[in-house]
């Protein structure tokens, strides 16, 4: 049988629908009878399965999806997905949307599924927690999932930490990421900066200073330790209400900024504690190289 397209089979509800909207929807009837028993693993037609409105992942890597589909063609779906019964011949994914998409891509019309009954709040908790445990979620997706668990499931931070098997400090650190400017959140989501970089930036109270620090971090490829040093020295200066002695790192950053402005090209300085190091001037064409050489005289 020719597989139906993902858009027809897995009907995604708009992300952000509240629980109240779902509970008022007649399509979420979980009391209807069905020949397939709950709490059992069965082969279900993918055409009868709807997508998960609580799915924290909004983007699926096409290459990884293709690789998974090729594996499914050879080995089948090794780990059944989990669905909840919505009514007669209707199911909704709790976890396993990626496996379902890959199965469709592989040409499958059925998929093994563990069927259970769950209300919307239970489903939200299960879907978010199950996805949070997966390594491929980035830091921002985890942070947004934590926020949804707090707000839509009315959990306290302590309860949330217990649900996801993390300590409360870890949960708080993720939630703090949501206070960062949008461009920094995007850089973290795209893995242009690490969680350590983001946590260091959060400790800067002023948003303008956060942006400046972020630009320096990207331009000069600063390590987490270097960013933490800059933040610590900046905060110490504010506390003391007087300039503090500049660190070598700060001096080198100023040199880099000055030379970058002079040559109109990115300059990178690397040096050790004894002051020995290198200066790198980047150019993108022979004409740009010649311009730099002319400036050097």
Environment class of residue 93 by beta-carbon count within 10 Å: exposed (0-12), middle (13-18) or buried (19+)? buried
Q: Which residue has the tokens 């000055």?
A: 258
User: Count of CB atoms within 10 A of residue 174's CB?
Assistant: 22
Cα 226–chain centre separation: 24
Helix 207-219 × helix 224-240 angle, to 10°: 150
User: Is position 97 annotated as part of the catalytic site?
Assistant: yes
The C-alpha atoms of residue 201 and residue 209 are separated, in whole angstroms, by 9
Spatial contact of 40 and 112, defined as CB atoms under 8 Å apart = no
Question: Which residues have CB under 8 Å from 216's CB, separation 6+?
Answer: 222, 230, 253
User: Count of CB atoms within 10 A of residue 132's CB?
Assistant: 19
In 3-state terms, what secondary structure has residue 252? Answer: helix
Task: From the candidates 97, 125, 141, 226, give the one annotated as an active-site residue.
Answer: 97
Q: In the Cβ-directed half-sphere of 122, how many Cα atoms lie within 13 Å?
A: 7
Strands of the 90-95 sheet, one edge to the other: 40-45, 110-116, 81-87, 90-95, 49-50
The C-alpha atoms of residue 265 and residue 288 are separated, in whole angstroms, by 9
Question: Which residues have CB under 8 Å from 272's CB, separation 6+?
Answer: none
Query: In whole angstroms, how large is the CA radius of gyration of the chain?
Result: 26
Active site residues per annotation: 97
């Amino acid at each position: 049988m020719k597989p139906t397209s993902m858009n027809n089979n897995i009907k995604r509800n708009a992300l952000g629908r509240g629980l109240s909207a779902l509970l008022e929807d007649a399509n979420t009837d979980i009391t209807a009878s069905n020949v397939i028993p709950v709490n059992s693993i069965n082969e279900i037609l993918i055409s009868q399965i709807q997508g998960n409105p609580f799915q924290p992942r909004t983007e699926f890597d096409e290459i990884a999806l293709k690789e998974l589909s090729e594996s499914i063609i050879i080995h089948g779906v090794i780990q059944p997905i989990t669905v909840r019964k919505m009514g007669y011949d209707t199911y909704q994914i709790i976890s396993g949307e990626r496996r379902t998409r890959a199965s469709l891509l592989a040409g499958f019309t059925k998929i093994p599924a563990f069927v259970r009954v769950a209300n919307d709040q239970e489903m939200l908790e299960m879907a978010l927690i199950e996805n949070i445990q997966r390594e491929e979620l980035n830091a921002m997706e985890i942070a947004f999932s934590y926020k949804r668990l707090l707000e839509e499931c009315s959990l306290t931070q302590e309860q949330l930490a217990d649900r996801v098997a993390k300590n409360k400090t870890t949960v708080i650190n993720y939630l703090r990421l949501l206070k960062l400017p949008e461009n920094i959140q995007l850089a973290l989501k795209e893995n242009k900066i690490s969680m350590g970089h983001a946590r260091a930036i959060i400790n800067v109270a002023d948003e303008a200073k956060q942006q400046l620090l972020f630009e320096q971090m990207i331009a000069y490829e600063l390590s987490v330790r270097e960013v933490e040093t800059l933040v610590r020295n900046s905060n110490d200066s504010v506390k003391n209400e007087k300039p503090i002695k500049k660190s070598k790192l700060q001096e080198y950053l100023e040199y880099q900024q000055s030379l970058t402005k002079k040559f109109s090209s990115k300059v990178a300085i690397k040096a050790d504690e004894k002051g020995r190091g290198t200066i790198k001037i980047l150019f993108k064409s022979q004409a740009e190289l010649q311009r730099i050489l002319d400036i050097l005289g």
